[in-house]
Structure 1
Amino acid sequence: MRSVPAKQALEAAVEAARWAPSVHNTQPWTFSISGEEVSLRADPGRKLRVADAAGRELLISCGAALFTMRTAMRCAGFEPEVRTLPDPDRPSLLATLRPGTVIEPDESFRALGRVIEHRRTHRAGFADVPVPDRLIERLVSAATEEGVRLTPVRSPQAISVIAALTRAAQGVQAQDRRFSLELISWAQPPGSSRKDGVPAQGYPRQAVRTSPDFPQRDYSWRHDWGSQTDQRAATSVGVVALLTTRGDTRLDCVAAGQALQHVLLRAAAHGVSAAFHTQALEMSRLREFMRHELCSGEYPQMIMRLGVTFDDKGSVRRPLSEIMA
């Protein structure tokens, strides 16, 4: 078995973590390398103070970055040694990771590593192409490996309820100036040179309704922004799925983020993308309703739709110089 030097594996892990998904592409993390250990810290300055006052979505985003580092380290030939929330006196320190035993990475993890930089969040309907049940089963297993539950929603009635809750939350948030201003602060106009937030090519100028309708965030907000991709054939909802945890602690949120990225990379390796709908989860009463009525008492951490899209969107990430502490 051959592996790269430990320092090179750590650097590769941080480089890969840049491409993890985060709410509104806020990239709320910093990294530091000391000896043969990399630290992942939350960046509270990038937290959504209106939509995510408790920091739940920030922790999920950082959890996704942690799983990405784990994947990159396995691809480099090391079994990662991870400590999550290692120091109660330093709450922003979310995890440390060290290269452990030298391993021969299997093809399953190599497949995940190959799509880290190519995975994209989708913000519209999907093509009318079915997602194979066998793949859905593999995605469920991927979440289970991280101690989290992924539940495909098969009941049309339940899908309609989730869509209705999303529309309700979107409608309330659209009437709240604080939500709107926070949202557009992370929306990029065409030609922007910013390396964070949602670029104009990353969302449709005018969303096409699915049935039932799952509204997207209005990143264009009274502007003539967004992509003009022909979405007339992309009106399928896809497979609606809920990511849930038994508890709702900081550790649970980090675990949810790791499970989310495991699912997303596994899906991307098979040509399947995801669209996210967190509006209802940002309103405590709607989230509690979902927990009791749709999630068997577990805490909903993410609502997503999985499907096939033929759009080739770009993405942006901050350079290493901005995320290394």
Structure 2
Amino acid sequence: MDVRSVKQALDAAVEAARWAPSVHNTQPWIFKVTGTEIDLKADVDRQLRVSDPSGRELVISCGAALFTIRTVMRCQGYEPAVRLLPDPDRPSLLATVKAGTPIEADEQIRALGGEVERRRTHRAGFADVPVPGHLIESLGRKAAAEGVRLTPVVHPAAATVVAALTQAAQGVQSQDQRFTLELLRWSRAPESTREDGVPAGAYPRHAAPTDPHFPQRDYSWRHAWGAEGGQGRALGALVLLTTDGDGREEWIAAGQALQHVLLYAAAHGVSAAFHTQALEKPHLREFLREELCGGAYPQVIMRLGVAADDVKRAARRPLSEVLEE
């Protein structure tokens, strides 16, 4: 195995993993490259202690970074060999990825790799352009490849229920001072130079409501922050990602499935808007599990559609901050 080629592949994979989606753009990961292997660790200092006390969203975020590593290593010509949760005595070590057999990446893998930095999180309604049913079916197969189920919410009554739960969770969280302070930690003023969190240009100042209405996080909090636009009103396709279990392995799988779905959707001109508020309230999440998910555990709620406005590229921490020597 060519040592120089392997090092290039590992470096490219870590560089790309920085662009994975994460809750509030917390980027809660640390990487370490040793020989032919990458360690993926959870940065627990970036955990949301109020809204994510179990670390579920943190681990899902890291799972998205793991799928990015796998994809880029394949683009670089190596089949990744992954070990999940390899050391019980090091709970923050979520996975190791080793450069395995040399391969030739196919066109689909290269297409996914090409979307890693182009993918954007959307925080408003969508243009009135339907997401094709065959694309939703394809996204379901991508999620299934990671051991996760993607379920479209097609019945209007069910969509109304999910929207109502999102509104309820948002309303309760907005009255919780601890939650508000935690959210403000990851909100970025227009003049901020920080390279994490949600910048003021990453969401519209006044977003038009969807029907049913899915509220967005209030990152501006009493400020006139936000970008112009946000007039798209279409709901898009509402989907859930669910798993049969609810441990760290399933959370990692949900993150990998999420990134697989997002990259494939982006390659077809489709963006995602996330609505995790109800999943951060245990009793609302349990209601969803029992009443709409057939007993499966909901891990992600999102809308898919064609963005009506340009979405600003989010900031990312420099490699020096996420790479452990």
- Shorter-chain-normalised TM-score: which range? over 0.9
**Alpha-carbon shift at residue 310 of structure 1 (Å):** 3.9
Trace 1:213-224 onto structure 2 (pairs within 5 A). 213-224=213-224
Root-mean-square deviation (CA), in Å? 1.1
Structure 2 CA distance for aligned equivalents of residues 108 and 132 of structure 1? 19
Matched, 1:279 2:282: no
Matched, 1:92 2:92: yes
Secondary structure of the residue aligned to 1:275 is strand
Partner of 1:177: 177
Given candidates 296, 309, 312, the residue that maps to 1:311 is 309
Given candidates 264, 270, 285, the residue that maps to 2:268 is 270
**Alpha-carbon shift at residue 3 of structure 1 (Å):** 11
Structure 1 CA distance for aligned equivalents of residues 72 and 191 of structure 2? 32
Which amino acid letter does the alignment assign opposite residue 26 of structure 1?
T
TM-score normalised by the chain length of structure 2: 0.98
Structure 1 CA distance for aligned equivalents of residues 100 and 135 of structure 2? 30
Structure 2 CA distance for aligned equivalents of residues 262 and 107 of structure 1? 15
Secondary structure of the residue aligned to 1:5 is helix
Structure 2 CA distance for aligned equivalents of residues 236 and 149 of structure 1? 24
Superimposed CA distance per residue, residues 229-273 of structure 1 (whole angstroms, 9 cap, x where no aligned partner)? 2x33x0001000000000001110000000000000000000000
Say how many residue pairs are matched: 322
Which amino acid letter does the alignment assign opposite residue 238 of structure 2?
V
Structure 2 CA distance for aligned equivalents of residues 115 and 279 of structure 1? 27
Q: Where in structure 1 do 4 or more consecutive aligned residues deviate above 4 Å?
A: none
Partner of 2:254: 256
Given candidates 222, 227, 240, the residue that maps to 1:242 is 240
Matched, 1:323 2:310: no
Structure 2 CA distance for aligned equivalents of residues 253 and 314 of structure 1? 26
Structure 2 CA distance for aligned equivalents of residues 74 and 314 of structure 1? 25
Structure 2 CA distance for aligned equivalents of residues 45 and 57 of structure 1? 14
Matched, 1:186 2:186: yes
Superimposed CA distance per residue, residues 51-74 of structure 1 (whole angstroms, 9 cap, x where no aligned partner)? 001100000000000000000000
**Alpha-carbon shift at residue 8 of structure 1 (Å):** 0.6
Contact 1:3/1:78 (CA < 8 Å) preserved in 2? no
Superimposed CA distance per residue, residues 166-223 of structure 1 (whole angstroms, 9 cap, x where no aligned partner)? 0000000001011111111101000210100001110111222111000000001101
Structure 1 CA distance for aligned equivalents of residues 107 and 99 of structure 2? 19
Superimposed CA distance per residue, residues 109-130 of structure 1 (whole angstroms, 9 cap, x where no aligned partner)? 0000001001000000000001
Contact 1:75/1:113 (CA < 8 Å) preserved in 2? yes
Which amino acid letter does the alignment assign opposite residue 273 of structure 2?
A
**Alpha-carbon shift at residue 224 of structure 1 (Å):** 1.0
Identical aligned residues as a percent: 67
Which amino acid letter does the alignment assign opposite residue 316 of structure 1?
A
Which amino acid letter does the alignment assign opposite residue 36 of structure 1?
T
Contact 1:195/1:318 (CA < 8 Å) preserved in 2? yes
**Alpha-carbon shift at residue 4 of structure 1 (Å):** 7.3
Consecutive unaligned residues in structure 1, runs of 5 or more: none
Trace 1:42-81 onto structure 2 (pairs within 5 A). 42-81=42-81
